[in-house]
């Protein structure tokens, strides 16, 4: 059996608890993984003076695959997001967030199965921000006299042809590989004519090279309404960073919430898997949050390793636990613990082995 080496970033808040649950279920799926655990986030800040130590980055660069628990980002002050920094430093330009409704989960619509492809490296997440009263902010206010209120803080939103080209290409390649029929580009090009306008313009060019896949454009405000009312019309969505972040949470709400929404971040040769949700710090240490979002991110990791059989065994076990509805965490209406859900998933995998005679 091949052993895969994976960098493990437990994260903080409820991260370490769900990471433990995932390690357990992945081992039970029959895949051999050597985990290389590294620190990042607030604890790393205390230990190394930086929330993203070089050792963590080097480990991911060396192993090429990482599984990550969520990391808290202080609001307003403190260090910048480690999650954003990891994606930028490792050039993990594509964020893939499948939103599939599993039977048993109560949701507003049946049959939702769409995929959000979010650009990860630019847009308002580029980290180019000028604090209120700073010389750069004041200079911009003076330059754009009358257009910016006095005392404003300012963020810059870069959207480039190269980053747009590669994310839209990623979305079409994904659609082709997974037999998806349609790609919808989402932006707000009626208002941000140059930045979001460029996003659509480049997307249209990439789409013209993939005539077998339907292509359409939606304005992001209308997209929110459409997704809430008729999500089954959509298949693969491709969006700039900020809209992608927001729409991912909306889509998570369509399939049972953040507790079941997985994700993966991809560069040319590195992949980092993490749930859509954050560190849910109020539940830290309570063994209470849903591990399924990170377990399904683990399924994506196994697919990435081409451990196809183990990946479907694990996904089927998750689906069986959800369909049975007996062992669910609070967010899905149950009262089971994080570890009880992991154990129920493991039990389902064992039941499958007995049924299959394997």
Distance in Å, CB of 142 to ligand NAD, minimum: 33
Q: Which residues bind ligand NAD (CB under 6 A)?
A: 70-73, 83, 258-259, 274, 277-281, 283, 289-290, 293, 329, 331
221 is catalytic: yes
DSSP 317: H
In this structure, what are the phi and psi dihedrals at residue 99, rounded to the nearest 5 degrees? -125, 95
In angstroms, rounded to a whole number, what is the distance separating the alpha carbons of residues 255 and 188? 25
When the beta carbons of 180 and 277 are compared against ligand NAD, the nearer one is 277
Q: Is 130 helix (H, G, I), strand (E, B) or coil?
A: strand
Beta strand pairing status for 65-68 and 94-100?
A: unpaired
Distance in Å, CB of 145 to ligand NAD, minimum: 35
Give the HSE-up count for residue 171: Cα atoms under 13 Å, Cβ half-sphere.
Answer: 37
188 is catalytic: yes
Choosing from 245, 331, 343, 348, which is the catalytic residue? 245
When the beta carbons of 231 and 256 are compared against ligand NAD, the nearer one is 256
Distance in Å, CB of 73 to ligand NAD, minimum: 3
Strand ranges in 120-168 using DSSP code E only, listed in sequence order: 129-130, 154-155
When the beta carbons of 278 and 325 are compared against ligand NAD, the nearer one is 278
Choosing from 188, 234, 331, 343, which is the catalytic residue? 188
Looking up tokens 């859509």 gives 276
Distance in Å, CB of 1 to ligand NAD, minimum: 30
CA distances, 60 to each of 20, 126, 267 (Å): 19, 21, 12
When the beta carbons of 76 and 150 are compared against ligand NAD, the nearer one is 76
Query: Residue 194 belongs to what H/E stretch?
Result: none
Choosing from 47, 181, 193, 221, which is the catalytic residue? 221
When the beta carbons of 7 and 279 are compared against ligand NAD, the nearer one is 279
Distance in Å, CB of 66 to ligand NAD, minimum: 12
125 is catalytic: yes
Distance in Å, CB of 68 to ligand NAD, minimum: 7
123 is catalytic: no
Q: Among 17, 10, 9, which Cα is nearest to 288's?
A: 17
When the beta carbons of 63 and 73 are compared against ligand NAD, the nearer one is 73
Distance in Å, CB of 313 to ligand NAD, minimum: 22
Instruction: Output the residue with the shortest Cβ distance to ligand NAD.
Output: 278
Beta strand pairing status for 65-68 and 154-155?
A: unpaired
* Helices 308-324, 15-28: inter-axial angle, 10-degree rounding: 120
Q: DSSP letter string over 201-266?
A: HHHHHHHHT-TTSEEEEEEHHHHHHHHHH-GGG--EEEE-HHHHHHHHHHHHHHTT-GGG---EEE
When the beta carbons of 26 and 71 are compared against ligand NAD, the nearer one is 71
Sign of the dihedral through C-alpha 312, 65, 263, 12: positive
In angstroms, rounded to a whole number, what is the distance separating the alpha carbons of residues 54 and 184? 38
Q: How many CB atoms lie within 10 A of CB 274?
A: 26
Choosing from 93, 102, 125, 215, which is the catalytic residue? 125
Residues carrying an active site annotation: 125, 188, 221, 245
């Amino acid at each position: 059996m091949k052993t895969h080496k994976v960098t493990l970033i437990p994260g903080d808040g409820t991260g370490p608890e769900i990471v433990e649950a995932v390690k357990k279920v992945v081992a039970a799926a029959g895949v051999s993984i050597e985990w290389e655990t590294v620190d990042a986030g607030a604890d790393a800040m205390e230990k190394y003076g930086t929330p993203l130590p070089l050792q963590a980055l080097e480990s991911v660069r060396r192993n090429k695959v990482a599984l990550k628990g969520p990391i808290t980002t202080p609001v307003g002050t403190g260090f910048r997001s480690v999650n954003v920094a990891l994606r930028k430093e490792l050039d993990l330009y594509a964020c893939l967030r499948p939103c599939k409704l599993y039977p048993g989960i109560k949701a507003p619509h049946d049959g939702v199965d769409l995929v959000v492809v979010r650009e990860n490296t630019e847009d308002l997440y580029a980290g180019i921000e000028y604090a209120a009263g700073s010389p750069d902010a004041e200079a911009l206010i003076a330059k754009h006299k009358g257009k910016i209120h006095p005392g404003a803080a300012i963020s810059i939103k870069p959207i480039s042809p190269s980053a747009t080209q590669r994310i839209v290409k990623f979305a079409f390649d994904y659609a082709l590989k997974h037999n998806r029929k349609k790609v919808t580009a989402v932006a707000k090009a009626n208002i941000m004519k140059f930045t979001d306008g460029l996003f659509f313009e480049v997307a249209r060019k990439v789409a013209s090279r993939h005539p077998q896949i339907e292509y359409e454009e939606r304005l992001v405000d209308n997209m929110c309404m459409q997704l809430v009312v008729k999500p089954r019309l959509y298949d693969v969505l491709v969006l700039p960073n900020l809209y992608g972040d927001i729409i991912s949470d909306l889509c998570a709400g369509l399939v049972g919430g953040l507790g079941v929404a997985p994700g993966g971040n991809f560069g040319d040769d590195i992949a980092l898997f993490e749930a859509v949700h954050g560190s849910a710090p109020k539940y830290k240490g309570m063994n209470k949050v849903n591990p399924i979002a990170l377990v399904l991110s683990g399924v994506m990791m196994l697919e990435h390793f081409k451990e196809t059989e183990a990946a479907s065994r694990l996904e089927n076990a998750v689906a069986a636990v959800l369909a049975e509805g007996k062992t669910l965490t609070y967010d899905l209406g149950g009262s089971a613990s994080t570890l009880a859900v992991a154990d129920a998933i493991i039990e389902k995998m064992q039941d499958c082995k007995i049924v299959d005679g394997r």
